[in-house]
């Protein structure tokens, strides 16, 4: 290695550092590093809602289609089948919460094991699991 090679390496490194620094300064002047004044989107209000009025208009056919699209990715629907990531949903209404054998429920959900799944509890769970069983 001669002196010219080392000079080239030093100049290349210096030019790279100056270029990166200049790009950083330019980026910060164009895109300010602050939070937006208002959120870009808002999550829906996730309060517990009584579902009685919705159940009057409920459609088994539509619910079956939705469950097939959304829930079937993680859950099985037939007795004796296996869910992928979640427990089998066959017979879930009327079953004690977090008691299906062979599935590891969170400690937060196991605290509800004395309760029985009904339509309202399922709605509350699906709307906001972290509100229904904090720590889940």
User: What are the sequence ranges of the domains in the chain?
Assistant: 1-34, 52-132
The predicted pLDDT at position 45 comes to 65
The predicted pLDDT at position 18 comes to 96
The predicted pLDDT at position 73 comes to 87
- Assign domain 52-132 one CATH number from 3.30.2090.10, 3.60.15.10, 6.10.140.120, 1.10.760.10: 1.10.760.10
The predicted pLDDT at position 83 comes to 61
- Give me the average pLDDT of each 10-residue run along the chain (136 residues): 87 96 91 72 72 91 91 86 80 92 89 94 88 86
The C-alpha atoms of residue 124 and residue 121 are separated, in whole angstroms, by 5
The predicted pLDDT at position 10 comes to 93
The C-alpha atoms of residue 2 and residue 9 are separated, in whole angstroms, by 11
The C-alpha atoms of residue 101 and residue 123 are separated, in whole angstroms, by 23
The predicted pLDDT at position 130 comes to 84
DSSP state of 85: S
The predicted pLDDT at position 128 comes to 85
| Entry pTM | 0.61
Q: Are 75 and 89 in contact (CB under 8 A)?
A: yes
């Amino acid at each position: 290695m001669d002196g010219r090679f080392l000079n080239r390496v030093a100049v290349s490194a210096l030019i790279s550092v100056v270029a990166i620094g200049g790009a950083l300064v330019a980026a910060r002047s164009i895109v300010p590093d602050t939070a937006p004044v208002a959120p870009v989107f808002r999550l829906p209000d996730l309060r517990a809602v009584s579902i009685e009025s919705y159940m009057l208009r409920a459609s088994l056919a539509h619910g079956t289609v939705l469950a097939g699209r959304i829930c079937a990715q993680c859950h099985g629907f037939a007795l004796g089948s296996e869910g992928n990531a979640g427990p089998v949903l066959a017979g879930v209404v009327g079953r004690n919460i977090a008691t299906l054998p062979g599935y590891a429920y969170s400690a937060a959900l196991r605290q509800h094991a004395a309760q029985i799944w009904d339509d309202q509890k399922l709605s509350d769970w699906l709307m906001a699991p972290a509100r229904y069983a904090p720590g889940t």
